[in-house]
Structure 1
Amino acid sequence: MRDVRFAYGEREVLRGIDLTVRRGQVVAIMGGSGCGKTTLLRLIGGQIRASSGRVEVDGRDVGEMGADALYAMRRRMGMLFQFGALFTDMSVFDNVAFPLREHTDLPASLVRDLVLMKLQAVGLRGAAALMPAELSGGMARRVALARAVALDPMLVLYDEPFAGLDPISLGIIGQLIRRLNDALGASTIMVTHDVHESLEIVDYVYFVSEGRIVAQGTPDEIRASSDPFVHQFVHAEADGPVPFHYPAAPMASLLEGGGA
């Protein structure tokens, strides 16, 4: 991304974003709610177009692609949505098979083998016949991960992959993200609030605040950072550059009598 700006109507969300994700890297994008993190993923996937600047994927400007080129590019991407977003009326097997059936002409026997291989990679080959309603939250997220990498994408996008998971499931998903990225030789961009787990598996971190990159670095650099915003975020402090109190008149001025 090069000097990327984006606005919803008159509300500017991104104010000059510059970031780079290299082949083989797992990169986290962190920041407070509403700072524009998910908007970045939507720009990369071509769901929305930047107001200005360039969003390049594999050397091509996504904003200049026509419909056919954009769909072809998306077939080389995988997406893990927040909470998985499985098709509830399809079995685990059919959920993972869906992108293979939609985007390839592979025979059913090969689709079967590929689906079982992806489910084996996430530890759920034995759950192939189950329906999403029969899965725990962690299992559903793993099925969604298998679906996201079904086409061996060059780029995988994750929107809050750890949200709502118990500690065991969270650790499993984190390690799977790292292992699958390395096995595919892909690149991963992960929007997340989970500082501890993310810093264990990522290669680089970008912090977004008020539509700008305010800090960046390796996990070790982030842990050692003296930047006030990064320190507040990493250590979950209630007050700092991001204030606890929403702006308001002094409390004393609102109480009866007005005195302290």
Structure 2
Amino acid sequence: MASKVSTPGSESSSVQDYVKTIYALSEWHDEPVTSSRLAARLSVANSSVSEMIRKLAELGLVNHTPYRPVELTADGRRLALAMVRRHRLIETFLVRDLDYRWDEVHDEAELLEHTVSDTFIDRLDARLGFPSVDPHGDPIPTAAGAITLPDALPLDSFDDGHSGRVTRISDEDPQLLRFLAAEDIGIGSPVEVLGRAPFGGPLQARVGTGTGARDFSFGKELTGAIWVESVGRHAGCSLVP
């Protein structure tokens, strides 16, 4: 039987933010989580990251050897998933029930996720109908600690002629989200790779179907932020820590 997601308790909000960020940096990209990547994501000095990593190691939340990438322990991963669950359920609630735009919810969720109780989160989950993804397509961990990652890749990973549907859009840049919303590109949008301009130029893609289809030229920032699942492939990988 899967254990329940760890309950955020006596940890400081900084500890909670760090383990969540470590998880987020490795959720979609198979790249080592280094101190410099953490410092860049959290907009803090490298020295602050080093100090916090030592604290996280003392708490048993990360494994870390100096000058090597940092990795979450089983306890660290459970805490990270608990915070991810809170964040993404709150984002979903803000968009569905309070008419927030998808580019507005991140900062609100960052504040609220540290203050609400587990009872509130569980009841919010039930109120929302136990959603599997948030407004950006990021998977929401269950109360049991399972998370299902869609079988998706960044748009720039696909060959010319490949078709699929938008499954996830990175929420790191609110301006990017606003641009896509203005162009009516969102989760579930059909997309086909038409080709690439020479010498590292933009990717040409068709979004939509039939008479509503439109052609776009997407630069590297957009093609890396838009994640696509191939047509006919719906199964993800369910992971339980």
Task: Identify the TM-score tier after normalising by the shorter chain.
Answer: under 0.3
Higher alpha-carbon Rg: 1
TM-score, scaled to structure 1: 0.21
Larger relative contact order (Cα-Cα within 8 Å, sequence gap ≥ 6): 1
